[in-house]
Structures are given as structure tokens and as C-alpha cells.
């Protein structure tokens, strides 16, 4: 999903979408509640691409998003993986964990070595863990102490 910006409206993105069997969605031009989400996601993606494309990580001066080198398609999959593995503070889970339904905080185990179905106890423990994580957090009630003009 993009906002129609020129960074993500090109043949490289279309080719990537076709290769990965996804579709490129462009949101409405005058939908600021959606555009903010898209701009935030695009900014995170551009930041990851800038770091991955940087020849000397941490040594480059600030660059605009359009200053990313032409090597960015080589790093696009890695940038998406970084975004999918980052922990979202509000949920304490990564997008990948929320999508797949299990915690991904261990190193990858090769499936050709051992393939074992999870036990009922393992599934119950995991569901209890998720249920506990998603409980609403209580905060103390607040009292309005006063009112001023334009207090927002």
C-alpha cells in the first residue's frame, strides 16, 4: 500500500509484486488518516533501505529518501524482513509473530533435521502467553483539575 509517491510507483515495485504474487495498492489522495499510516510505513522502509544501501554504515551524512543509491532493489527483501521482525511496542510482538501465531525469538531450526508436531500443552501454553500479552493495561482514573482556553 502506498500513497502514489514516485518512490514506490515504478517498474521495480511492479516487477517485485508480480514475482511475489502481491498487488500494489494506492490509497486515495485525500484520505489523511490512511496517508499517515502509509507515510509512516514508507519512512521506515526508506530508512531501512538507506542503511542497507550505505557503503559505510553510520558514516554517511543525512540523505533524503530520493538519494538512496540504485542498489536499493538488491536490499528490498532484507528491508521488508527487518520490518516484519521488529517488535511493535504496543503489542510486544513482531508483525511476523502476530501473523503466524507463534513467537519468533529463537534461531531458525532446519526442518529437515527434526519435524515434530507441537503438543497440546505447548499450544495451550502459547495461547495463554498471547492472551496475557493482549490483555488491556489498566491505568488510574484521572481528574480534571481545571480548564483553560485552547487547552488542547
What value does the mean pLDDT take over residues 118-123? 87
Q: How confident is the model at residue 121 (pLDDT cuts 50, 70, 90)?
A: very high
For residues 77 and 46, membership in a common domain is answered with: yes
CA atoms within 13 A on the CB side of 21: 0
pTM of the model: 0.45
- Into how many domains does the chain fold? 2
For residues 21 and 35, membership in a common domain is answered with: no
For residues 7 and 46, membership in a common domain is answered with: no
Alpha-carbon span 90 to 114, nearest angstrom: 34
For residues 14 and 63, membership in a common domain is answered with: no
Percent of the chain past pLDDT 70, that is, above it, reads: 73
Q: Does a structural domain hold residue 149?
A: no
For residues 17 and 39, membership in a common domain is answered with: no
Work out the mean pLDDT of the chain and round it to a whole number.
76
What lies within 8 Å, CB to CB, of 134 at 6+ separation is: 91
Which residues form the domain of 10? 1-30
Q: Does a structural domain hold residue 152?
A: no
CA separation (Å) from 33 to 10, 25, 36, 89? 24, 16, 6, 21
Question: 58-104, pLDDT tens digit by residue?
Answer: 544 555 545 666 777 888 888 888 888 888 888 888 888 887 777 76
Amino acid at each position: 500500500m502506498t500513497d502514489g509517491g514516485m518512490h514506490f510507483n515504478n517498474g521495480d515495485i511492479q516487477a517485485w509484486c508480480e514475482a511475489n504474487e502481491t498487488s500494489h495498492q494506492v490509497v486515495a489522495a485525500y484520505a489523511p488518516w490512511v496517508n499517515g499510516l502509509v507515510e509512516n510505513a514508507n519512512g521506515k522502509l526508506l530508512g531501512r533501505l538507506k542503511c542497507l544501501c550505505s557503503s559505510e554504515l553510520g558514516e554517511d551524512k543525512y540523505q533524503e529518501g530520493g538519494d538512496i543509491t540504485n542498489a536499493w532493489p538488491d536490499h528490498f527483501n532484507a528491508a521488508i524482513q527487518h520490518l516484519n521482525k521488529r517488535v511493535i511496542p504496543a503489542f510486544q510482538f513482531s508483525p511476523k509473530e502476530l501473523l503466524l501465531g507463534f513467537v519468533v525469538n529463537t534461531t531458525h531450526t532446519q526442518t529437515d533435521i527434526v519435524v515434530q508436531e507441537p503438543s497440546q500443552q505447548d499450544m495451550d501454553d502459547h495461547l495463554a502467553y498471547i492472551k496475557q500479552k493482549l490483555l488491556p493495561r489498566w491505568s488510574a482514573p484521572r481528574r480534571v483539575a481545571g480548564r483553560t482556553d485552547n487547552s488542547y
